[in-house]
Structure 1
Amino acid sequence: MKKVILVLAFSAFGCLGLRAQEFQGMAVYESKTSTADFKSNFAGNREMTPEMQKSMEERMKSMFEKTFILNFDKSASVYKEEEKLDAPGQGGGMRMMVSMTGGGGTLYKNVKEKLYAVDKEFMGKEFLVKDSLVNYQWKMEGETRVIGGYNCFKATAVRPASKTDFRNFRPKKEDPAAAKPADGEKKTNFMDNLEMPKDLTITAWYTPEIPVNQGPENYWGLPGLILEVNDGKTVILCSKIVLNPKEKTVIKAPVKGKVISQKEYDETVVKKMQEMREMNQGRGGAQMRMGR
């Protein structure tokens, strides 16, 4: 009798483990970044015509408003931008900027092994960035709210701002003692009025009703799926969730590209962007071409 009970017990545990492995979910996220800071700087560019400004704003809207799909199981996830046709005029320069605004490539996160991998294209070269997941020091707050029918809890954390993420730029703080330039001396490169902050304060909302340590982009580490993230400028909000979909998605890490660490990739991008900036000095608004 005892042997029968043990066999049944092991069978039950085996079934539970199998179900845990088979569990899968899909979440759709809408990402939107405020472009008010960039638009206000267009006015200070004396070489940008109203037509150029309108064109730039339309392109920036397509860059800063995106839809992503997160497929996840108990230990891993794949996060990728929803595929759509490129708008006319979006050449190599535009694709480069897309990769610097949270889009492009496939992001794989394994919370069990605490690592991630993402394939990126930059300046015509393919990279495979592999590194350890950021260890967020989440602070559990007391606030709650409902998102999409799920009860969510608030958590906050501070993380270093990525120098290769265009969305992280903020307006420069004005120095009251500094002399203001005359109208004829306005800077022609609107990026001169922006700077990269050292840290960003992150506000996340997660639901324990979906007990996985996953979330959009590189966010993870909370006792439930993260449904919303806000860094003060970019908001990523979950708009749809499907648990145990009929069609399973293969969740695996990308393998294409030159293997490189996050630090090495960031240094490569920053160096190349600085070279481009120096090459284009004196060309005014042309320094931020986003077309071909």
Structure 2
Amino acid sequence: MKSSVLKFTLVAIILFISLNNYAQKFQGKAVYVSKSKMELGNWGAKLSEAQKKQIQARLKNRLEKTYVLTFNNTESMFLEEEQIDAISGATDTWGAYFSRGDQYKNIQNSKLVQSQEFYGKRFLVKDDLYKIKWELGTETKKIGNYLCYKAKAFVPKKELDWYDFSWSDLRNKEKTGMAKEDLVVVEAWYTTQIPVAQGPGEYWGLPGLILEVSRGNTTLLCSEIIINPEDKITIELLSKGKETTKKEYTATIQKKMVEMRENRMGRRRSR
């Protein structure tokens, strides 16, 4: 009896060590394609189909983007591939001011480090990761060769778009004295076949890699996965830029936007 118990204990220890070593070595690379539907509102109703297609071609770089996520069990790096303007052949500079920068996540200690650049000044945003409260569903579907499960969550918009700004958001804050607290419905599809709690952008915390995530008119879909590539993946912590928090960064950029608006209005009055 003692011999059987000892044998079982040894097997359990060996299995634990093997799984622990596998978890430490587990790493991968996933490519995501982001697509957003163009919303022109009431103004768009006045445009012809040809005009809508021309605008869509002009905004292609903002409506369709490609990202690369490199990850292991605890860390990840999420980068956007540089886009070239479909018409002019130039990079989308203005759109880049309000795009997500290079993003490092450490889900073990719930830390975020993100590089943002605004008008030639680089910021290094360091903050806590927002912990999404996922509701796990039973619905399944296949994405590529992976069986995925559906999850849903309600997330404050500011936690997803803290680096993005619009004049309407700024006007609303000036009018009410506070930012509007909108909750966004997020739907994600994750696979337990890749047992890491990683995902693209701000999305993480599910019992498997997130392969698809949708919110509003935007969907991020994984188009390619490489698990444990021959060339070892190195995830380096971002380090360049003025250190700040998400809240401080938001306040800094909104202040700059107000200055830009006042300067523009001042030039109009002087004409």
TM-score, normalization by structure 2: 0.78
* Partner residue of 2:152 out of 143, 147, 156: 156
Alignment of 1:232-251 (within 5 A): 232-251=216-235
- Match of 1:216, SS? coil
Alignment of 1:252-271 (within 5 A): 252-271=236-255
Deviation at 1:201, TM superposition (A): 0.9
Residue 62 of structure 1 pairs with residue 61 of structure 2: yes
The count of aligned residue pairs is 247
Deviation at 1:95, TM superposition (A): 2.4
- Greater length-normalized contact order (CA 8 Å, ≥ 6 residues apart): 1
- Match of 1:157, SS? strand
Residue 41 of structure 1 pairs with residue 43 of structure 2: yes
Q: Which amino acid letter does the alignment assign opposite residue 26 of structure 2?
A: F
Unaligned runs of 5+ residues in structure 1 are 171-194, 285-292
CA contact (8 A) 1:69 1:79 kept: yes
Unaligned runs of 5+ residues in structure 2 are 170-178
Deviation at 1:277, TM superposition (A): 3.2
Residue 76 of structure 1 pairs with residue 75 of structure 2: yes
- Match of 1:21, SS? helix
CA contact (8 A) 1:64 1:101 kept: no
Corresponding position of 1:214: 198
Corresponding position of 2:174: none
TM-score, normalization by structure 1: 0.72
**Alignment RMSD, CA only?**
3.4
* Partner residue of 1:29 out of 29, 32, 35: 32
Q: Within 2, Cα distance between the matches of 1:282 and 1:61? A: 33
Corresponding position of 2:213: 229
Alignment of 1:111-122 (within 5 A): 111-122=107-118
* Percent of matched pairs sharing the same residue: 42
Residue 129 of structure 1 pairs with residue 125 of structure 2: yes
Relative to structure 1, the CA distance from residue 131 to residue 278 in structure 2 (aligned partners, 3 Å threshold; closer, same or farther) is same
More deviation in 149-158 or 219-228? 149-158
Q: Within 1, Cα distance between the matches of 2:258 and 2:184? A: 23
1:138-182, Cα deviation, whole Å (9 max, x unpaired): 111232111112111111111121354259x89xxxxxxxxxxxx
Relative to structure 1, the CA distance from residue 68 to residue 79 in structure 2 (aligned partners, 3 Å threshold; closer, same or farther) is same
